[in-house]
Amino acid sequence: MKTRYWVGLIAGIGFLILGITVLDSSKIAYGTIEAARATGKKMQVKGTWVRDKGSNYDAGRNLFTFTMKDEKGEEIQVEYQGARPNNFDIAESIVVKGLFEDQQFIAYEILTKCPSKYEGNAEQLRKSGT
């Protein structure tokens, strides 16, 4: 084989290994607050905002904090470096991506699931005749 084929083959294998490594490091598992605390790794935790404990946005530090309850009922303080999501107040559930540090969850992304304007309850559907 010619040298350029060997170089191409080695480069192709190198890019394949690089791609697999990047994809593997970018995946983040779903878990509970307990799992995030135990592993210390980046995780996605699904839960709800504990409304009666409020939330706070510090514009000077661009820091948003709130208390979240996961599906098992465990609560944790969440700290997010960024603005409060626009639809945070009406969200049915939230997913925070980040890791557990110093007795709080440090989030680098917040996803909100809001009620759909296209979903109605069963009584509304019966009344409309559909």
Q: What is the mean pLDDT of residues 41-49?
A: 90
103 three-class SS: coil
pLDDT digits (tens, 9 = 90+) for 69-127: 988 889 999 999 988 888 888 888 999 999 888 888 999 999 998 776 665 555 554 55
Q: Which CATH architecture has domain 28-113?
A: Beta Barrel (2.40)
Residue 61: what pLDDT? 92
Token pair 């709130």 is found at 66
Q: Which amino acid is at 129?
A: G
Q: Any idea where the domains of the chain sit in the sequence?
A: 28-113
- H-state helical runs in the chain: 3-26, 33-39, 122-128
Q: What is the mean pLDDT of residues 32-46?
A: 86
Residue 127: what pLDDT? 54
